[in-house]
Structure 1
Amino acid sequence: MEKMEHTILEEQKGDRIDKVISALDEEWSRTQVQQWIKDGNALVNGQVVKTNYKCAVNDLIEITIPDPEPLDVIPEEMDLDIYYEDTDVLVVNKPRGMVVHPAPGHLTGTLVNGLMAHCKDLSGINGVLRPGIVHRIDKDTSGLLMVAKNDMAHESLVNQLVEKSVTRKYKAIVHGVIPHDFGTIDAPLGRDPKDRQSMTVVDDGKHAVTHFHVLERYNHFTLVECQLETGRTHQIRVHMKYIGYPLAGDPKYGPKKTLEIDGQALHAGVLGFVHPRTQEYLEFEAPIPSDFERLLDQLRNNR
């Protein structure tokens, strides 16, 4: 079990204990934290408190983070769209609607389930629920992902992500007509304090940079290509909303009145990296899905 401490600051005075703790790590959900408090794994000044305890300045919070429960991930035969594979890495084109890795309560039908049936050798660095997963894309985003088949490959690919040397280009349809051809959005991202399930631009967030350029303009919409410099949760979706051009079909960050597409019109079409063993630069491109292409045809016809 991991332990950590936090002393309540002036600006946190009067905040609920569950809110304060869940804000300490973006991976911790409010529900999860509330269970820790009920189980006595989060103490205030050495005492057990209720989840609605209001914090005072200089309260000492001691958190014991329980070890995750072991979960069996079941291999499932799937028709995976594999673009490249060798003994070290695999590149797969994930369809829209597929979750990348299992989570408690959602253990089947994910990309990891399919990968485990396809290849028995996946890097164990990310644990039983995320074997081989180096980076991920959202459930309703389609496109290319690189997967590590051993720990050497995993460490190499992660280091390339940290060094910002991986090429990741996305195509997206956004609301509004962007007047300029190129742009860079440099705005830090973090959990939305009003909605822990969403991300937003916050002053103390993690560094996040998205470059974009306009490919086509239509009546009320624009097709853009976005290139990630960093890879934060929901980065393109939040950044484009931040500058006033939210993604079409985005149920979380976009307007309700939008184009007919099941999920955001966002496709990870280009992925490039240096092979961990051969040191050769590899780059792959996957065409946009058919429903995305149909939308573009409709927009072009309505111009």
Structure 2
Amino acid sequence: MKPFQLIYTAEQSGLLREALEVWGISKRTLASVKYGGGQILVNGVEVTVRHPLQKGDAVTVIFPNETHGKGLIAEAGPLEIVYEDEALLIVEKPPMQNTIPSREHPFGSVANIVAKHFNDHGIPSTLHIATRLDRDTSGLVCIAKNRHIHHMISLQQQEKKMKRRYEALVHGRIDNSEFTITAPIGRKDTSIIEREVRADGQFAQTEVRVLALLEEYSHIRLQLNTGRTHQIRVHLTHIGHPLVGDDLYGGKRAEINRQALHCTELELVHPVSGKPLVFHSALNEDMQSLL
């Protein structure tokens, strides 16, 4: 399996270590390169991070091959690929499928099937899922093919350069056409699964825009500005409009057998080329039928 590698050009003289930091190579990634079988070359010659760079030097970082953890079983299964290159894999997750294996659902997850895809195509990577979705939630999932790429995407998420947009159906008619929910989220004292809005929780922010008012529901678009567990579900319940089908947080399942939530759009900057990328996904049939 050919290892993943990136080539940079030094824009000024200085220590290699400083240039690697500017290029976003984390200390953890650097340690994996140093001790895990990777290499750093300057003009084709292997060097250490203390090497003095000259402007125009070609720096090649060869990342060590990664292997799946023993707990992740590669499985054949349907995989709807939206986009794929040497760094990224964007897939469509259907409803009622885990993103990663769990105790209740150890098989058939996106991670299990992507592991098989990686094995079949000689991709030397473990699973780096950058945008995880709940089992019920459908839509776009972003997967990095390398520890460094995952780190670069995480930086984009922290700097709010990566946008995740969802569409949902909620109970009741929402009066405001556009607003922002800012409310801290933490684990509920009486549950290991549920979250709630609480004063000692982590900062969480969700932007909401109403697309249509139906007889009993509101069709809304949401953008996550933070990525807390169950953030959309908790925030919507907090304002009195739980997701249709989300019986954990007060929704009803009379007309749909899962929470009516779909990741319709992912916007990010490609971590290698710097090119802006936008991916779109249509609503699943069960949500379409409610509309």
Superposition TM-score, scaled by structure 1 size = 0.70
Instruction: Supply the distance in 2 between the matched residues of 1:139 and 1:104 (Cα, whole angstroms).
Output: 13
Cα offsets for 1:232-272 (capped at 9, x unmatched) = 1110111011001111000200234x441121000000001
* 1:119 alignment partner in structure 2: 118
SS of equivalent to 2:112: helix
Aligned to 1:287: 282
- Could you tell me whether the CA contact under 8 Å between 1:123 and 1:154 is conserved in 2? no
Q: 2:259 aligns with which of 247, 256, 264?
A: 264
Contact 2:98–2:105, Cα closer than 8 Å, also in 1: no
Supply the distance in 1 between the matched residues of 2:142 and 2:280 (Cα, whole angstroms). 12
Where does residue 238 of structure 2 map in the other structure? 242
RMSD of aligned C-alpha atoms?
1.4
> 2:99 aligned with 1:100, yes or no?
yes
**Contact 1:216/1:222 (8 A) holds in 2:** yes
Identity value in percent: 40
The corresponding residue for 1:227 is: 223
Gap regions ≥5 residues in structure 1: 1-69, 125-130, 297-303
Q: Is the 8 A contact 1:189 1:202 kept in 2?
A: yes
Partner amino acid for 2:108? G
Q: What is the deviation of 1:106?
A: 3.6
Query: 2:81 is aligned with what amino acid?
Result: I
DSSP 3-state at the match of 1:252? helix
Structure 1 residues 63-102: aligned runs within 5 Å: 71-102=70-101
Q: Whole-Å Cα distance in 2 between the matches of residues 104 and 137 of structure 1?
A: 17
- In structure 1, how many angstroms separate the alpha carbons of the residues matched to 2:161 and 2:189? 32
Q: Which amino acid aligns with 1:252?
A: L
Large movers: runs of 4+ above 6 Å:
none
Instruction: For 1:103, give the aligned amino acid.
Output: S
Count of residues in Structure 1 that have an aligned counterpart in Structure 2: 220
Structure 1 residues 9-43: Cα deviation after superposition (integer angstroms, max 9, x where no partner) = xxxxxxxxxxxxxxxxxxxxxxxxxxxxxxxxxxx
Amino acid corresponding to residue 237 of structure 2 in structure 1: K
| Cα separation, 1, equivalents of 2:125 and 2:186 | 28
Contact 1:122 1:148 in 2 (8 A): no
Distance 2:164 2:270 in 1: 15
Aligned match of 2:132: 136
| Distance in 2 between residues matched to 1:205 and 1:199, nearest whole Å | 9
SS at structure 1 position matched to 2:71: coil
Cα distance, 1:280–1:262 mapped onto 2, change above 3 Å: same
TM-score normalized with structure 2 length: 0.73
Aligned pairs for 1:87-236 (under 5 A) are 87-104=86-103, 106-120=105-119, 121=123, 123-124=125-126, 131-236=127-232
Q: Can you list the C-alpha shifts for 1:251-298, whole angstroms capped at 9, x where unaligned? A: 200234x441121000000001111110101000000001110111xx
2:152–2:271 contact (8 Å) kept in structure 1: yes
1:225–1:259 distance in 2 versus 1, CA, 3 Å: farther
Q: Deviations over 1:136-193 (max 9, x none)?
A: 0100000101100112211111111111211111000000100110110000001011
Counterparts in 2 of 1:136 and 1:218: CA distance versus 1, 3 Å: same
Q: Say whether the 8 Å CA contact 1:122–1:132 is kept in structure 2.
A: no
Tell me the SS of whatever aligns to 2:247.
Answer: coil
C-alpha separation between the residues in 2 aligned to 1:117 and 1:180?
46
C-alpha separation between the residues in 2 aligned to 1:105 and 1:251? 18
